[in-house]
Structure formats: structure tokens, C-alpha cells
Amino acid sequence: MGLNVSLTNSSLMALIILGCVGLFFVLSTRKKSLVPSRCQLICEGFYNFVSKMLDDNIPHSNMKFAPIVFSLFVFIIFCNLFGMIPYSFTVTSHLAVTMVFASVVFFTVVGIGVAKNGLAYFAHFAPKGIPAVIVPLMFVIEFFSFLVRPFTLSVRLAANMTAGHTVLKVIAGFVAPMALFGFVPLLFLSVLTAFEIFIALLQAYIFSLLTCLYINEAYSH
């Protein structure tokens, strides 16, 4: 049939991360207590952070969308951080992977908008009150800007992960050859690694925040 179903580095690493995330949350919340353990504290921290994000950006019925936002936020964070481990693979540096995440968000938003408003949801592509002569032009512009959302979501995440890891690899290549002055690139590499960890967390937050904004736009239309 010509269908290639081989397991790639990206899909293999995604499965490993998914297993690690699931195992971490199951073991951390299996024996819940009033005085939480460190792992339970991390899980509760994830939940409280996402819950606050939902409260701030989806004022009405926000917990309906907690599963998708929480899942995306946690999985993207783990994918980004696993990519920082030497000899591992950064799943979110592949545009095909981030495009899947963005497509899930896109079709979820469309589904919510149509389910709540029917076909009237698409009326926001031509806002009321504008002259009739420019309605077709406005519709095309708004519709195109709506369609590029999954591309901007996916490219932003993939580009940041690729660029940061590329710079880290380049700087790391200067540490060994500069034996006498290797501490200079090593120091810079340490600072850059800390910054890259911050970027990994930030990009997961930005992706989840934009997901909340898009859902709120569709839900409250």
C-alpha cells in the first residue's frame, strides 16, 4: 500500500513522555494527604496554575475546558523540558508535532463556536456596522486571519524550541576546543541553559494562554 507506519524519533519520544507524565500523576495522586508530598505538591501546583489561567481568561464555564488546556499545558512543558536532557529528543521542535497540537485547538474552538452559536458563529468574520461595499473584503481578511491561527501557534512553539537548542549546541561545541579558556563558553552555556529552561516553560504557558483566549472568543461570541 506504500503506507509507512515506522516509529520515528519524534513519535517514540512522545510516547515515552506521555508514559512518564501519566505515571507521574498516577503515583503522585494515588495517596493524597492534607500534608502533600513533593510530587503531590507539583501536581497541585500544575492544577492551580491552569485553574487560575482559566478563571482569568474564560470567565464563564471555564472548568468545562480544563481537561484540554491542562493536558496541553502539562504535555508541552514535559516535552520541552525532556528536550533539555542530553542525548534526548525535543518533540516540540518538530513543526508536524506542534501543528497537531494547534490543530486540536483550532477544531476545538470551531466546534465550541458552532455548538453554542450555530452557523451564526461565522458571522463574526463580517462584523456589523461596516459599509456593505467592504463586507466581502472584510470577510476574506478575517477568515484568513482565523485560518492562520494554527500555523502561528505551531510555528511559534517549534521555532523557539529549535532556535534555543541550536544555540545551546553551537555554544557547547566551543567548550572542549577552548581548553584553556573553556570556562568562558561554559559559563555562558550555563546561563543560556537556564534561560532555555525559562523559555521552555514560557512557551507552554503562551500556547495554553492563547488556547484559553481562542476558546473564550468562541464561547462568548
Residue 1 lies in a domain: no
Residue 37 lies in a domain: yes
Average pLDDT of span 168-194 = 69
Q: What pLDDT band is residue 160 in, cutting at 50, 70 and 90?
A: confident
Nearest to 203 by CA among 87, 98, 67: 98
Number of domains within the chain: 1
Residue 4 lies in a domain: no
pLDDT of 182 reads: 55
Residue 3 lies in a domain: no
For the chain, what is the mean pLDDT? 81
Task: Say how far apart CA 76 and CA 207 lie, in whole Å.
Answer: 9
Q: Which residues contact 156 (CB under 8 A, 6 or more apart)?
A: 203, 206, 207
Residue 178 lies in a domain: yes
Residue 2 lies in a domain: no
Per-residue cell: 13: 519520544
Residue 54 lies in a domain: yes
Average pLDDT of span 11-19 = 87
17 is in which domain, residue-wise?
Answer: 9-219
Average pLDDT of span 61-79 = 87
Q: What pLDDT band is residue 105 in, cutting at 50, 70 and 90?
A: very high
Residue 131 lies in a domain: yes
Q: What pLDDT band is residue 181 in, cutting at 50, 70 and 90?
A: low
Q: What pLDDT band is residue 72 in, cutting at 50, 70 and 90?
A: very high
